[in-house]
């Protein structure tokens, strides 16, 4: 994917999501769908409807289904099998669910590919490390994890790689450490992306799009700065083009 932007469709209804896909499908690399939309509409309906519209511009099959699965290994394996369907490019599980759970998800996907439609790419399975809304004080004070966020993220990334996952979801601040720990082929999907002109909201560990790519991130998940941009910026497509311009100005030529 030359264009690394995945727009987070954090909206409650399918018509709202479809309008964003229609507007943005020609200027982004794909779309992320999460709990809000999938629980209100249903995963199969969301995937089929959005990938059909996105696919008209070649981004079909570029949906990141962000459900952050976490349960006993058998239950997660069953859910993973259900996500092996046309339109799903990647989905995620919580890395702190443990090695057995992550391995069950990866193996379930591999087995399900035997009956997948011909030519359908295998969905990538990613491990969620530490949520970008969690800082060091929350990690230690509330969750009682002694490690600082960077150490915890790299530890979970190693577990995810050992379990057979394709990559992780992490803050852009942690990409370099993950690259050093897991190698350049291990995929990093980075939320918490905020242009300088956007409000950080409830994200704590944020970085600009250009800086995130410069750190080595593979995919950037961008939500509210695009879907609900400041009035001074304009419509979602105006915000997207502004981000692309800023990335290109910073020398990231791989963005089209």
70 is catalytic: no
| Annotated active-site residue in 25, 68, 94, 224 | 68
Which tokens is 160 given? 């995810």
Residue 72 burial (CB count, 10 A): 12
Phi (first) and psi of residue 160, to 5 degrees: -65, -45
Q: Given the structure tokens 């956007």, which residue do they identify?
A: 198
Shortest CA distance to 92 belongs to which of 209, 195, 229, 188? 188
Q: How many helices (H) does the chain have, and how many strands (E)?
A: 11, 8
Question: How far is the C-alpha of 64 from the C-alpha of 189, rounded, in Å?
Answer: 10
Known catalytic residues are 68
């Amino acid at each position: 994917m030359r264009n690394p932007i995945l727009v987070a469709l954090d909206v409650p209804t399918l018509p709202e999501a479809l309008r964003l896909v229609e507007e943005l499908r020609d200027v982004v690399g794909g779309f992320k769908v999460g709990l809000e939309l999938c629980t209100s509409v249903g995963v199969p309906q969301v995937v089929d409807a959005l990938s059909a519209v996105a696919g008209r511009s070649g981004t079909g099959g570029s949906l990141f289904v962000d459900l952050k699965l976490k349960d006993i290994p058998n239950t997660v394996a069953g859910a993973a099998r259900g996500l092996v369907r046309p339109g799903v490019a990647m989905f995620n599980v919580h890395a702190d669910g443990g090695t057995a759970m992550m391995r069950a998800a990866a193996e379930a996907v591999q087995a399900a590919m035997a009956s997948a439609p011909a030519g359908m790419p295998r969905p990538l399975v990613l491990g969620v490390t530490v949520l970008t809304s969690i800082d060091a004080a929350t990690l230690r004070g509330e969750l009682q994890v002694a490690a600082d966020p960077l150490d915890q993220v790299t530890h979970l990334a190693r577990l995810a790689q050992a379990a057979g996952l394709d990559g992780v979801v992490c803050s852009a601040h942690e990409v370099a450490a993950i690259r050093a720990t897991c190698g350049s082929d291990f995929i990093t999907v980075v939320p918490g992306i905020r242009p300088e002109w956007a409000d950080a909201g409830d994200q704590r560990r944020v970085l600009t799009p250009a800086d995130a790519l410069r750190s080595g991130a593979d995919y950037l998940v961008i939500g509210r700065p695009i879907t609900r941009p400041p009035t001074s910026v304009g419509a979602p497509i105006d915000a997207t083009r502004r981000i692309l311009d800023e990335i290109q100005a910073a020398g990231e030529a791989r963005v089209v």
